[in-house]
Amino acid sequence: MFMRMTFTVAVAGASGYAGGEMLRLLAAHPQVAIGALTAATSAGTALGEHHPHIRSLADRMLEPTTTQGLAGHDVVVLALPHGTSGAIAAELEQTGCDPVIVDLGADHRLVDAADWQAYYGTEHAGTWTYGMPELAQVAGATQRERLASARRIAVPGCNVTAVTFALQPGVAASIVDTSDLVAVLAVGYSGAGKALKTHLLAAEALGSAAPYAVGGTHRHIPEIVQNLRAAGADDVAISFTPVLVPMSRGILATVTAPVGPEVTTAQVREVWRAAYADEPFVEVLPDDMWPTTAMVAGANTVAVQVAVDAKAGRLVAVVAIDNLVKGTAGAAVQSMNLALGLPETLGLVREGVAP
């Protein structure tokens, strides 16, 4: 079968953290040629002013984000603020071009328009193919099969990714009670974006841990529920609390759920290992090891460990991911590869960066 050697990719929102991480991965992708790089207020500046670590693209100038600049590429990546991708995607479609469009924002993740309106407060832009190849499905096509024919891809939220990987094997195997879930996540500051806000300044953040979106208000909650229902859950209720901690990138998620008295640590580890045995980027760690964010920094890896707290009658699942890689850009590249008919792992690494 003939396979194209190079696909052109444009990135809108290239000056932000998500756009920059996408470019870092694409710059090393053997079958990608990077096309237009666009931004809003940063248009007219060099990419190196915003991402000096991406040396091969440092002298590229950022253009204004227009449909004319994005049209004509094989792939368009939208690394834009929530609520803005829908309009640009609609304008691109009106030009007659049909690129694969990969949305790193939230606009097209949710199936239920009422959920979008409740958590985001605007009109729902529609639902695209969900960009998590490993998503468990109780019936129908696998998520990989859906992505292989996708032209519009919605990349998952980073916190959602961590919680989904923590729980979905137990949901699919019907050994956890999803009506009483508790998730507490330590999140690096890059997850809050690049906007200049007082609470994101180093003077405020260093030496401090700060919860946010407490009390069921975080916008990732309906997406978590949606994923667990896809894996087979009926009644899902989750207490979800993210905490900003003084690190630049990474998520460490600790998720607990009730289990029956007959369920043991050995049993749940067997279930999780079987569920992820063929996943190239997911590793259930050895019995005496627990995930850390340092394990996965810079990598597209998901590190997982599970145990049963018998006295509390609860499963404890801990997951570490890099929020910018597996939580955003890495998932986007995986999904893009599938949509283009390329090997899913192309351009992605499991090895992290240390120290």
Predicted confidence (pLDDT) per residue in 321-346, tens digit: 999 999 999 999 999 999 999 999 99
Per-residue model confidence (pLDDT) at position 1: 44
pLDDT, residue 319, reads 98
- Give dist(CA 200, CA 157) in Å, integer: 20
On whether the CB atoms of residues 248 and 190 are closer than 8 A, the answer is yes
User: Which SS3 state, helix, strand or coil, does residue 24 take?
Assistant: helix
Q: Cβ distance 103 to 85 under 8 Å?
A: yes
Could you list the active site residues? Answer: 158
pLDDT at 170 over 60: yes
Mean pLDDT check: name the lowest of 62-71, 123-132, 201-210, 296-305: 201-210
Going by pLDDT thresholds of 50, 70 and 90, the confidence category of residue 18 is very high
Whether 2 shows a pLDDT value over 60: the answer reads no
Backbone phi, then psi, for 212, in 5-degree steps? -150, 160
Mean of the per-residue pLDDT values of the chain: 95
DSSP assignments along 46-89, one per residue: BGGGT-TT-GGGTTPBPEE--HHHHTT-SEEEE---TTSHHHHH
Whether the full predicted model's pTM is greater than 0.85, yes or no, is yes
pLDDT of residue 95: 84
Each residue's pLDDT tens digit, 86-98: 889 989 988 888 8
Superfamily of segment(s) 7-156+326-340: NAD(P)-binding Rossmann-like Domain (3.40.50.720)
Banded model confidence at residue 57, pLDDT cuts 50, 70, 90: very high
d(CA 267, CA 314): 13
Taking residue 209's Cβ as centre, other Cβ atoms within 10 Å add up to: 11
Superfamily of domain 159-323: Dihydrodipicolinate Reductase; domain 2 (3.30.360.10)
Consecutive H or E run containing 145: helix 143-148
Across the beta sheet with 238-244, the strand order is 210-211, 238-244, 181-187, 251-258, 314-321, 302-309, 282-284
Contacts of 8 (CB under 8 A, 6+ apart): 32, 33, 34, 35, 72, 73, 74, 75
Domain map (residue ranges) of the chain:
7-156+326-340, 159-323
Give the contacts of 96 (CB within 8 A, at least 6 positions apart): none
In the prediction, which pLDDT does 3 show?
60
State yes or no: cis peptide before 133, omega within 30 of 0.
Answer: no
Residue 270 pLDDT class (50, 70, 90 cuts):
very high
% of the chain at pLDDT higher than 90: 86
**Torsion 255-109-11-193 (CA) sign:** negative
